[in-house]
Amino acid sequence: MFLQGDSGGPLQVKNKKILCMYTVIGVTSFGQACGFTGVPAIYTRVAHYLPWIESIVWPN
């Protein structure tokens, strides 16, 4: 479900091997309505930005 103000929130999937662990695969960008079936929400794929994210989280 995507609501106004959710921009920047995670799109995550549950890890099938490790209990209570999730992987962030996207970041909420925008969408219309509030999670209605058939109404898409737009996410940014995190994998494309991993080098940059890691350089911020784990600087040299």
pTM: 0.66
DSSP, res 19: T
Terminal C-alpha separation, the chain: 37
How far is Cα 6 from Cα 44, in angstroms, rounded to an integer? 13
The residues facing 30 across adjacent strands are 42
Which pLDDT does position 14 carry in this prediction? 94
Cβ neighbours of 10 (radius 10 Å): 14
Strand, helix or coil for residue 16: coil
pLDDT, tens digit, for every residue of 14-57? Answer: 988 888 899 999 998 877 766 677 878 888 999 999 999 999 99
